[in-house]
Amino acid sequence: MGLTSQSLEYMVVVLAVACVAATVWLWPRLAKRGIRAVLGRLGAIVVTQVSIVCALALAVNTNFEFYGNWDELLGNNDEAPVSVSQGGGQYASVGNLKGGLIQPAGPQGLDRVTGLPKGPADKVGKVESVRIVGRRTRAINPGFVYLPPQYFQQQFRRQRFPVMVVISGYPGGIMNLAQHLQVPQNAGRLIAQGKMQPTVIVMVRPTIAPPRDTECVDVPGGPQAETFFTKDLPDAMKSAYRVGRDPSAWGAFGYSSGGTCSLQLAMRNPKVYTSAVSLSGDYAIKDDLTTGSLFGAGAAGAQREREHDLLWRLKNLPSPQVSALVASSRKGEANYGPTMKFLHAAKSPMTVDSIILPQGSHQFATWRREVVPALEWQSQQLTFPQDTEAVVPPRKQGAKPGQGGSPGQAPTSEESGRRRVEAERPQG
């Protein structure tokens, strides 16, 4: 029975309720004097309290996904394999890569999500539950991988698909991406409507060392989160799926801490990710109680912290050739002021678009309004690589290099540093 399975959660809750009921029922018999009665009362209190705490802890872990399985909870993870396994067959998927860098996993909560593809994969697509193994970092991160219907269709059998790496907030996890933001469900609808090109989407959490918030940073002497996202994850995906090799096919996407990570990854590693979506993300990374020391001490640590301040980078370093979409709200979002500073600081060759809501707080109700236009936007930034001369959707006239051949290309703008996508009413 999996740590995040619904049946385990129900069983523990029922057990806790039964313990409370038994304590109430037996308490009159335990109200007598004597050692046995006192020990009985103490035992009843302890068992009841432990059962309630376990039920609450399990519910919290299921919601926030600090630990995805029993081995992760107990610290019994195997050493990460160092070899890359190559998938075989026309429709290679994670199912035949049990010893590779992408490994099949249990449901990880996927069985509780509604609206996922049901039916033939070449008609509706598929969502796989996986474990992503870091060859360099030795980290093992849970994930969901969405494969569009075209991935399984005969005419696309030799195509490599663009990739979105979608990162949840902290302390949330991949379940939030599938259940609350409905990333694979929205992507499937947009692809079916011709508003988004066929894209492989890998959904992951931002931390690689739970419960610590690693903020996609290579911590001196600690977890190497940036290396995981910029080297290990792309290598793992390329070993298991038909995905693009060129950076123009890769984009990062996230909300809250995941949005912060997305901007950091693209601006610091433009040869890995050429576009980023940040919904309510921050523009600098600071130490707090959940992160511990991310940068180290002394002058070197201070310099590392400055280099993770995106406004400092725009002012002091050459602008990277990437595209970014940032989202905030005029009322209700603490990052609105920094977002406007970021928009004004961006300069060529970097381009920045925005979704600015009139009002919206730091919660899923806000991000659900933004996720559909954000998915459409990022799809327009990604190329659709090809390995052969198979038919590929043509790029529209006037599209910028690095933008894909999907319907609805992003509008061009004479102002290279700033463009805005207004979203004044609920989307999708």
What is the secondary structure of 10-59 as a DSSP string? HHHHHHHHHHHHHHHHHTTGGGSSSHHHHHHHHHHHHHHHHHHHHHHHHH
When comparing pLDDT for 364 and 385, which is higher? 364
DSSP 212: B
Pairwise CA distance, residues 197 & 405, whole Å: 7
pLDDT on residue 324? 97
Pairwise CA distance, residues 173 & 103, whole Å: 18
pLDDT tens track for 82-123: 222 222 222 234 444 456 899 999 888 888 899 999 999 999
Beta bridge partners of 359: 331
pLDDT tens track for 298-314: 999 999 999 999 999 99
Helix (H) or strand (E) holding 133: strand 126-133
pLDDT tens track for 396-417: 444 443 444 443 333 333 333 4
Pairwise CA distance, residues 205 & 207, whole Å: 6
pLDDT tens track for 362-372: 999 999 999 99
Average pLDDT over residues 5-20: 81
Q: What's the pLDDT band for 385 if we cut at 50, 70, 90?
A: low
Question: Quick one: which of 164, 100, 167 has its CA closest to 135?
Answer: 100
Sign of CA dihedral 80, 82, 87, 92: positive
DSSP 230: I
What's the maximum distance between 2 C-alpha atoms anywhere in the chain? 90
pLDDT on residue 333? 92
Check if the beta carbon of residue 143 is closer than 8 Å to that of residue 131.
yes
pLDDT on residue 407? 37
pTM of this structure? 0.73
Q: What is the mean pLDDT of the chain?
A: 83
